[in-house]
Copies of this chain bind each other. A is one copy, B any other.
Amino acid sequence: MSHDRGPDQPFEDVVEGLRREGLLEPPPSAGETDEVPEGTGRVTLSFSPAERSVRVPPGVSVFDAASWNGIAVDSTCGGHGTCRKCLVRLTRGTSPVTRHDRRTFTDDQLGEGWRLACLVRATHDLAVEVPPLVTRPKASTVGVGRQVILRPSVQKRYVELTEPTLADQRTDLQRLRDAVDDLTLEPDLHALRRLPKVLRESDFKVTAVVVDEVLIDVEPGDTSGHRHAIAYDLGTTTVVATLLDLETGTPVAVASILNKQQPFGGDVITRISATMMDPEALPRLTALARDTLAELAAEVCEEGGVDPAGVYEVALAGNATMTALLLGVDPEPLGVAPFIQVAADWPVLRASDLGLDLHPGARAVVFPALGAYVGGDIVAGMLASGLDRDKRVRLFVDVGTNCEIALTDGERIVTTAAPAGPAFEGGAIRCGMRAADGAIEVIRLDPTAEDPSAAVMLGVIGDVEPRGLCGSGLVDAVAELARVGLLDASGRFVPEEVAATTAPALADRLTTVRDGERVFVLHRTAPDAPAAQSVYLSQRDVRELQFAKAAISTGWTLLLEELGLEASEVQQVLLAGSFGSYLSPASAVRIGLVPKLSVLRIVSAGNVAGEGAKMVLLSARERAGADALLEEVAYVELSDRPDFNDRFVDQLAFPV
C-alpha cells in the first residue's frame, strides 16, 4: 500500500489534524475528563496519549468510538476483527478475552490489558492506551468541519497466488482467502462466476474487490488504486450526486438535476396523493427516481473519467417519502395520520435495486429514518454535523415545507418534525418563487435613507431584474419590516401615519392592492407600475410566514422542554438543508425562527444530507454511527399533543 510508512515517521501532524475534529469542537483541555456528567447511560472512554475522553452509548466498540472521535487506531480491515492490527491496552477497566485476542497476544500481554480495539465493547468506563500508528491513516474533512478517517467499506487487495497442483487442490476461493488474510471474503454469485476465468487468464495475479466482507469481484492484475463511489442527496426538488475517489477521499465530480418526479407535484404530499389516486403512479414514480439517479451517475462518471463498472458502492440520503418511492414501497401510510414508516432501516441493497448500472455487485447504503417526517436526509445531516459527538447544547433545524428539528444537550438527542407549509419554497406567497434567477434572496431596509430609491437594497439571484421573492428573501423582508417598525409584533402592517414617522423613506411603498389588502412594494417593474404588478409582500404573505415560523419554533420550544433546557442555553444553531443554509441568521433570529442568540452561534451548515452520504462511503465506521443514531435519538410526535395549538398561537408573534 502506497501510504505505508515505517513506525519512526512523524505522524503527529496527522494525529493533531484528527484530534482537531475542527472548527466546531475545540479539543477539550486536560482535566475536562472528569467533568462529564454521569448517570445518562453512556460510558466514558479516556484515550491516551491523545488525552481525550469521549462518552459513547454502551456497546459501541472501542475502535468505533476512537474512529468517531478522530483518534486513529491502526487497522487495515476497518474494524471487522480480521486484520488483528488495532492493538490497544486497557489501563483501567477490562474486557473479555476473545478467540482473536488469544491468537494475537501472549498470555502476559493479555494480562497487561492488551486487546484488539474492534472487539472490545464499551460496557463500562475504560482507559485506553493507543500505540503510535504504523500505517499512516488518511483523513478527509466532510460535513460540518468533521474529520473522517478514510476507511471505506470498499476494499481492494492485489494478490499473486500460487497455481494449484494435484498436491494443492484448494478451491479458487480458498486460495484467494488464504492470500487475503486481513479481510473476510464472502463471495457473491457474480464473483464466483468470474473467479475461475479471471484467475487463469491473469496468471493468478488478481485484485479482490470486497465491500463490507462481501467479495463482489476479482479483477485481472493490480487495480487496487482505483475505487470509486457515488453519494446521492435525493431531494424532493433537487437531486445531487458526488463521485468520490475512495483512495484519496476527494470528490471527483459533482452534478445536480431536478428530481424527475416533479410532474407528479412539487412536494411529498402531492406525490403521495398521486399514488393513492392511481395504481400506476407508484411504479412510475419509482422509475422516475431511478432515471434521475441513473442520469446523474452517467454524468459524474463521464465528467470524472471513471468507468461506471469501477463504482462499487453508492450511498443515498433522502426523506422518508423519497426513499419509499425510490424503493417502490407504498408511501400512503407516511402521508396520512398516524404517519407510519414501513421500516426504520433497510436491508443490504445493491445499486441495481436502485436501478443503477454500475458494478453489478455494487452495494447501496440507504440512510435509515427516525420517523415518517424525520427521514434519512436528517439522519445523514445529524451524522454530518456530528450532533452526537459534541458536548454542547445544539439545535439542528432543516428548514423546508416539512421542517425537521433536532436538539441535543450533549447527551441525549430529541427530534421532531414541524409542518411549516410551502411558504419557504415560495408557495402560497403572492410574489413567491423558487430560488432561481430573478428571485430576491437578500433584503436590507434603510428607513431613513435620504434617497428613497436607496432605502431598499435587494440581492437578486443571477443579478437580473427581480421577478419574485424566494424563501430567504421572504424571511429577510419580514425581519427587516419588523426591525424598522413597519410590522408590529403581532405581524400587522402599521398604519400609514405611523409608517410616515417611523420609516419616512419607505412609507410610500406601503400601499394596497385591488382587493384592499395591504402590501409593501419591494420592487416596481416600472416607475409608475401599479403595486399589483410589482414585486411585493402582502399582509397575507406575512401571515403565511408567521404560521411557518410558529410551527418551527413550537417544535424547538417543546424539544427544549423535553430536555429541560432554556432557549438561552443553546450554544449553537445549525441551519441545514438547501433552504436553511441560505437563510440570514440575523433575520432568522429577528422573526423568531430560531432562539434569540448571537448570530455567531447560528451556523449555515450547508447540504448536510449529501455530506452524510459521503461520510458513510468514506468510512464504514460512520455507517455504524448512522445506525447508532437510530438507537440514540428519541422521536417526539407533535401532532398528538393536546397543548400543541396553544403553544403554536403563542409562537405566532415576533419576539420583542
A637 touches B330 (CB 8 A): no
Q: Is A333 an interface residue (CB 8 A)?
A: yes
CB of A357 within 8 Å of the partner chain: no
Shortest distance from the beta carbon of A262 to any chain B beta carbon, whole Å: 24
| Residue of A197, A332, A346 contacting most chain B CB atoms (<10 Å) | A197
Tell whether, in the assembled complex, residue A344 and residue B174 are in contact, meaning their CB atoms are under 8 Å apart.
yes
Question: Which chain A residues (154-171) contact chain B, with CB distance < 8 Å?
Answer: 164-171
Does the CB pair B171–A344 fall under 8 Å? yes
Is the C-beta of A226 less than 8 angstroms from some C-beta in chain B? Answer: no
Q: Are B329 and A169 in contact (CB under 8 A)?
A: no
A639 interface hit (Cβ, 8 Å): yes
B342 contacts A167, CB within 8 Å? no
Instruction: Tell yes or no: A269 within 8 A of B by CB.
Output: no
| A508 on the B face (CB < 8 A) | no
CB contacts (< 8 Å) of A339 on chain B: these are 166, 169
Asked if B639 and A329 make an inter-chain contact with CB atoms under 8 angstroms apart, the answer reads no
In whole angstroms, what is the CA distance A517 to B113 when docked?
Answer: 83
CA distance A189 to B329 in the complex (A): 9
Give the CA-CA distance A170 to B333 in the complex, in Å: 12
Closest CB in chain B relative to A339 CB, distance in Å: 7
| CB-CB contacts below 8 Å: A121-171 with B | 164-171
B residues near A329, Cβ cutoff 8 Å: 192-193, 195-196
Tell me if B333 and A196 are in contact (CB < 8 A): yes
Mark out the residues of chain A between 177 and 200 whose CB falls within 8 Å of any chain B CB in the assembled complex.
Answer: 186-189, 192-193, 195-197, 200
A479 to chain B minimum Cβ distance, whole angstroms, is: 34
A299 within 8 A of B: no
User: Known contacts A166-B640, A353-B189: does B347 contact A172 (CB below 8 Å)?
Assistant: no
Chain B min CB distance to A646 (Å)? 18
A196-B333, A330-B196, A639-B166 in contact; A342/B189 too (CB < 8 A)? no
Point out the residue from B164, B169, B196, B343 that lies within 8 Å of A187, measured CB to CB. B343
- In this complex, what residue of B is CB-closest to A215? B347
Inter-chain CA distance A342–B353, complex, in Å, is 27
How many Å lie between the Cα of A167 and that of B640 in the bound state? 7
Q: Is the CB of A342 within 8 A of B195?
A: yes
Q: Is A349 an interface residue (CB 8 A)?
A: yes
Residues from 369 to 388 in A contacting B, C-beta threshold 8 Å: 371-372
What is the CA–CA distance of A170 and B171 in the complex, to the nearest angstrom? 47
- Measured in the bound complex, the distance between the Cα atoms of B417 and A263 in whole Å is 65
CB of B193 within 8 A of CB of A328, answer yes
| Interchain nearest-CB distance for A525 vs B (Å) | 48
Question: Which residues of chain A from 337 to 354 have any CB-CB distance to chain B below 8 Å in the complex?
Answer: 337-344, 346-347, 349, 353
**Which residues on the B side are within 8 Å of A164 (C-beta)?**
333, 338, 340
A60 within 8 A of B: no
Q: Which residues of B contact A589 (CB under 8 A)?
A: none
User: Can you name the residue of chain B whose Cβ is closest to the Cβ of A187?
Assistant: B347
Q: How far is the CA of A371 from the CA of B168 in the complex (A)?
A: 12
Q: Does A565 contact B (CB under 8 A)?
A: no
For A456, the chain B residues whose CB sits under 8 A away are none
CB distance from A202 to the nearest CB of B (A): 14
How many chain A residues touch B (CB < 8 A): the figure is 45
Which residues 278-304 of A sit at the B interface, judged by CB distance below 8 A? none
Q: Whose C-beta in chain B lies nearest to the C-beta of A191?
A: B347
Q: Report the Cα distance A640→B338, complex, angstroms.
A: 71
Report the bound CA distance from A195 to B168 in whole Å: 50
Which residue on chain B has the smallest CB distance to residue A168? B338
* Chain B CB within 8 A of A428 CB: no
- The answer, yes or no, to whether A455 is at the interface (CB within 8 Å) is no
Q: Give bound CA distance, A171 to B323, whole Å.
A: 15
Instruction: Give the chain B neighbours of A519 by CB distance below 8 A.
Output: none
List the B residue with the shortest CB-CB distance to A170: B340
Residue of B nearest to A200 (CB): B333
Q: Which residue of B lies closest to A639 (CB)?
A: B166
Q: Enumerate chain B residues within 8 angstroms of A340, measured Cβ to Cβ.
A: 164, 169-172, 196
> Which chain B residue has the least Cβ–Cβ distance from A337?
B166
- Enumerate chain B residues within 8 angstroms of A231, measured Cβ to Cβ: none
State whether A347 touches B637 (Cβ < 8 A).
no
Cβ B639 vs Cβ A193 within 8 A? no
- Docked Cα-Cα span, A349 to B193, in Å, equals 13
- Give the chain B neighbours of A186 by CB distance below 8 A: 347
CB distance from A368 to the nearest CB of B (A): 10
Q: Say yes or no for A532: interface residue by CB 8 A criterion.
A: no
- Checking B166, B189, B346 against A637 with a beta-carbon cut-off of 8 angstroms, the contacting residue is B166
By a CB distance below 8 angstroms, the chain B residues around A371 are 169
The answer to whether B338 touches A165, judged by C-beta atoms less than 8 angstroms apart, is: yes
Complex: how many Å from CA A186 to CA B347?
A: 7
Query: Is A327 among interface residues, defined by CB-CB distance under 8 A?
Result: yes
**Complex Cα spacing A168 to B200, Å:** 58
User: Does A14 belong to the interface (CB within 8 Å)?
Assistant: no
Partner of A171, one of B189, B200, B327, B342: B342
| Cα-based distance from A377 to B581 in the complex (angstroms) | 63
A15 at the interface (CB under 8 A from B): no
Cβ-based interface call for A461 (8 A): no
Residue of B nearest to A167 (CB): B640
Which 5 A-B pairs rank lowest in CB-CB distance, beginning with the nearest? A166-B640, A173-B343, A196-B330, A166-B338, A171-B341
Besides A171-B344, A173-B344, 20 more A-B contacts (Cβ < 8 Å) are A166-B637, A168-B338, A169-B372, A171-B340, A171-B343, A172-B333, A172-B340, A172-B341, A189-B328, A189-B346, A189-B347, A189-B349, A189-B353, A192-B329, A192-B343, A192-B347, A193-B327, A193-B330, A195-B342, A200-B333
Q: Return 18 A-B CB contacts under 8 Å, by A number.
A: A166-B337, A166-B338, A166-B637, A168-B338, A169-B338, A169-B339, A169-B637, A171-B341, A171-B342, A173-B343, A174-B343, A189-B346, A189-B347, A192-B327, A192-B342, A193-B328, A195-B342, A200-B332
| Chain A residues close to B by CB (< 8 Å) | 164-174, 186-189, 192-193, 195-197, 200, 327-330, 332-333, 337-344, 346-347, 349, 353, 371-372, 635, 637, 639-640
